[in-house]
Every structure is written in structure tokens, then in C-alpha cells.
Copies of this chain bind each other. A is one copy, B any other.
Amino acid sequence: MTSREKHDRMANAIRFLSMDAVEKANSGHPGLPMGAADIATVLYTRFMKHDPKAPHWADRDRFVLSAGHGSMLLYSLLYLTGYEDITLDEIKNFRQLGSRTAGHPEYGHAAGIETTTGPLGQGLANSVGMALAERIMNAKFGDDLVDHYTYVLSGDGCLMEGISQEAIALAGHLKLNKLIVMWDDNNISIDGAVSLSDSTDQLARFAASGWNASRVDGHDPEAIADALEAARRSDRPTLIACKTTIGFGAPHKAGTNKAHGSPLGAEEIAGARKALGWDYPPFEVPSDILDAWRLSGLNAAKKRKEWETRLAAAESEIRAEFERRMRGELPGNFDTVIADYKKKLAADKPKVATRKSSEMALEVINGAVPETIGGSADLTGSNNTKTSQTNPIAPGQYDGRYVYYGIREHGMAAAMNGMALHGGVIPYSGTFLTFSDYARPAMRLASLMGIRVIFVMTHDSIGLGEDGPTHQPVEHLAALRAIPNHNVYRPADATESAECWQLALEDTKTPSTIALTRQNLPAVRTEFVEENLCGYGAYELATADGDAAVTIFASGSEVEIALAARTALQAHGHPTRVVSVPVFELFEKQSEKYQAAIIGNAPVKIAIEAAIRLGWDRFIGQDGIFIGMHGFGASGTIEQLYPHFGITADATVKAAEARLHKKSN
């Protein structure tokens, strides 16, 4: 067998596992794995630095299947190279409930799946974050410990999605030369030929963003290998356009959209077996080919052992720090640092915007936690995300801790996902809350994957004033709270800001959004409490003088209004308690008893939030009074807007008293 014959048979193993699994599942996408099998075979047998026996090895190369619908390509590679998590049975259970081989690659289902993909463009943008994290960690720990590539397989769809432009522009700007994207250039999309909807010269487009870009025959292993060699030597990120035939080997469907997203059918698969000379029953890989694949899985075992030797030989402090970071653990003194800072706040009682108190908290945190990497989508001075410790990261200069992401919310969020997935860094970055909409697909994936990414979202209500309804979030808090496994924090003052940051950093399995004001707010927490009260999700901030007639629930900037309303109501003889609700999601995790006590039995329940009511019925019931927004905001000063929309202590008092009056009649 010539080496070309061996390559072909190894690639065909991917093709038939994919065809067979899709056929058995009666669902899935055979076209991509068949078309990209040659690319993947060259990459995994000749280049990938990975060790199936130690799949979490920190210095492994990352492979991202951005075209996630081609999941059988990845599952085939993991099975063939010997990842324990992906057995032949898993392949046979493709797309069945409870299998590790889900319809799209799901992070956490199996080692070797570096990120969840499927929503197009996300993997490509994740990879920018991974490649950036690699450089950041390299700048800190050196070539001995951190020196690996990020490889991506991208489809046409990934390149059509707008997020791809944000990703490639950022990667090109930052000269992330260890990022290598292989584009499965097969001219086919679901609707038919790509030419139905696109005429882009992708090579010219990538070149315009500072990338190397080359073109190869995606079925010529030597050409692919040469292009990868060149890419690895490049001082810029590289796009390799690999011209392929979708569904390669299928006698009638190859090269057409019929191979894309449905089982080929028994007849077509039989034809492919004949055409490719593959005389084996479904799911059988002949032992010589499986052996060859498994052998390739050992390629980097020696490198891994050498790396472990180097790590063991490193200074103990460096080693400990590297390992701590990769485990995702915070420094041991973190709690003390926060407690000391809260003591200071209780003494100072600063009256500042929460975007400012977030910055103050970050100043403390960034001093104590060296792995935080800040940033902003071109709103640094508005998001207050940059602190004294965070020098900029710039092209070729990766020893900083701050990323100027540009006006690229979506790419930023997805890059942060990639950084968190890579490990060793904790990404946080900002934009305006209203523009969380731009980043939402990536924020959802952070939640689905369960990773620690912190989205700083300032200008969190009509309180931002004159910029008007395009910039004023009203539905965004509810819409973000709707995402499963996503903690939405809305602190009311500097102490709550510190507590919310603490919680966001400590939760390694849940991404966080921290919603912050533009306007100044008084301190509502005026005494030092070591315990993190925000950790309860909702807690009693002010008790009623007597049996509560009224309970007011509020978050963020409206807690101040709740407290003022309480003072007035109590002066009128209506005992009133105030519950601060900084984070709905953590309240749901408390005991039923705690929840019932917090909600309480006051005859009148009111919620105040400068946003829509959706979600607040959980606290106040259908019958409760909601003081907030009922539609879009408006352009005007903050002094005009709060009264205009009836979000005032006066309005709260009036509504409460009208209800008390009604109830007493």
C-alpha cells in the first residue's frame, strides 16, 4: 500500500463511519465529513499535537469544528485516534438521547470536543479567543509550557455569518499567527450552490484583514500538508481554502446539496462502498486502518511526556501558578481580599454609578487575580472595564491584560468563550446592555457549555438618558434571565457590585452578565457583613417597622427608589420592607423556606425595575404592583425620564396606598 493509498483508506474510514452513523440515526449530515475527510486525515495524522490518552493536556493543539453539523467528522477522528470517551458504540448511538455523540458537538460530552458548535460562525470566533489565550499564556509562561496551534475547520456558512468578519478582523489585527483556518470550500449550501447567495472572493477578503490566504485541492493530501506547513511558519493567521466535493464518494449525491443534511440512503451508500473500494460492513474499520489511526494517536505522546518533564522541572511557584490557572481556581486569598474591600466600602459609603463601583471592584480583583483579561467593544471609558493593572494587548504583544475588541460585540463574546475554553485566563468584557442583543448567540452558548465568562453590561436602563430608545434596554434583563444557566446580576451599590463580581468569579460553571448603571447611586448597604448577601439572589435589605403591610422588591438603581418609598410609607403608618433582588437565578437555588420568607405575606407586593415586568410575577404574583417600563424608552435627560415613565418613590407610594385603601374597603 502506498502512502497515498493508506491516506485514502484512512480518510475513507471517516467517510464510512459518518455515512453509516447518519444512516443508522436516520438523521445528520454526511456531506461534510465525506468532503473534509482528507483535510482532517492530514491534520490529525501529520500535525495535531494531542494525546488521546491525556486529552486535557494543557499544551495540546486545539481543533475546532466550526461547521458543527459535520459532527461525525469529529466523532470519527476521536474514535479512530483512540479517545476513550468515543467508543464504537457511541458512534452507533449517534444523535440518540443520552449519547455522547449528539447531533452537534457538545462541549463536556466527550474529551476532544473543544467547544460546542452548530450555530454557524461561533467556532471560528471561539478559535480567535483560544489562539489569543494561547499567546497570553505563552507570554506569561514561555514556550516551554505553552506553545500550540489552534486549527479550525470552517464551512461556507461560517464565513457568511457576520460574526466571521468580526473574528477574522480581530485575529488579523492581533496577528494571531498560530491560528489556522481550513475552509471546506465545497460550493454548496443547503439551498443549493453557494452562488445562489454569495459571490465573495474569500481569499481577498481574508487578505484584507491581514491574513495569509492560500488555495489547495482539498483532496490532495500533499497539497494540504504543504499548506499547513506554510501556515505554521507564518507571522499572520492563515486561511487555507480547500476545494472539496461535498459527499465525496457518493456516486449521485456528491457535489450537491442532497449530500448535505440527510442520510444518503442504502443504495447511495452501497454505491459509495463500490466507488471507494470499501468492502466492509457498516461501522467496521479494517484492523490495519484502525491500527494506523491509533498509531497516529500516539504521535505526540512523547512530546506530551517531555512537556510534563518541563513542567515538573519548572520553578515550583511557576508550576503551581500554571496549574492553578489551568484548573480555573482563584488565588487562595481571594475571599479575604473581597472581605477587606467590603469593609472599606462600608466605611466609605461611596455614591457612584455601579459601572464605577464595578471598576473599583475590578481594581481590587485584578490586583488579586492575575488571570483576568479585560476588554470592551470600544466603550472602555463607558464600561469602566480597564484598571491600573491591565495594559493593552496589541499585535505581537501579548503580555497585557486588556483587549480592545473594537465594535464587535458578537465576536468579542465568542472570543471570550474561546478564552475560557482554552483555560488559564478569565475573560470579562463590556458593552452597553442594549447591545447584549448583538452578542446573544455567543452568550447562549456560554450558558449551554457552562463556562466562566463575564459580560459587563453598562447603561442598563433609561437611566442612560439622552441616547434614547435604541440605547435603552427595557426587555434585555428579562431576555437574559430567560437563558438557562446564565446569571444576571444587577447590583444596587458598591457593596453589591463587589459581591456580584465575587459570585461571578467563583462560579466556574455559569456565565454571568453584570448589569450596571450609568447614573450615580447611593450606598444602600451601609454596614459590613462578611457573608455575600447577593449570593442569596434576593435578601431583606430593610425590615418593616412592624408587621409588613407592603413589601417592595427592587434591583439595581431602583433599590434607592424602593428605600425612599419605604420611608414615606412608614411615615404614613404602613410598615414596609424592602427586598433587594440582585440576581434572580441564585434566589431560585435557595430553599423553599428561604424563598417563602423572602417573598413574605405582606398584603401589598410591589416590584420596581426600570425594565419590563416579565419575570417579576415570581415575586409579586399576578396581583402585584409593578413600577417599571411598559414599552420602549425615550430620548431625554434622566431627570425627565424617570418621572415620565412613572418610576419614582412617589408613584410607588401612591400605588401602594391606593391598593391598601382598596384592600381595607
Contacts and interface: CB of A to CB of B under 8 A. Distances in A.
A414 to B, nearest CB: 10
Contact of A162 (B27, B118, B161, B481): B161
A470 B104 contact: yes
A41 interface: no
A15 interface: no
Interface in A600-647: 612, 614-615, 617-618, 621-622, 630-632, 634-637, 640-641, 644
A128 interface: no
A303 to B, nearest CB: 33
Contact of A408 (B162, B406, B440): B162
Contacts of A445: 470
A468 B162 contact: no
Contacts of A632: 447-448, 484-485
Given A161-B166, A190-B378, A470 B119 contact: yes
User: Quick one: which of A97, A204, A405, A634 has the most chain B CB within 10 A?
Assistant: A97
> What DSSP secondary structure best describes chain A's contact surface?
loop
B437 A444 contact: yes
Contact of A406 (B198, B438, B484, B615): B198
Contacts of A474: 484
Nearest to A474: B484
Interface in A378-426: 378-382, 392, 395, 404-411
Contacts of A622: 617-618, 621-622
A377 to B, nearest CB: 9
Given A96-B640, A104-B471, 8 more contacts: A95-B637, A106-B469, A162-B165, A170-B197, A190-B378, A196-B392, A198-B406, A478-B478
Interface of A: 25, 27-28, 68, 95-99, 102-104, 106, 116-120, 156-157, 160-166, 169-170, 172-173, 189-191, 196-202, 204-205, 207-210, 376, 378-382, 392, 395, 404-411, 434-435, 437-438, 440-441, 444-445, 447-448, 465-471, 474-475, 478-479, 481-485, 612, 614-615, 617-618, 621-622, 630-632, 634-637, 640-641, 644
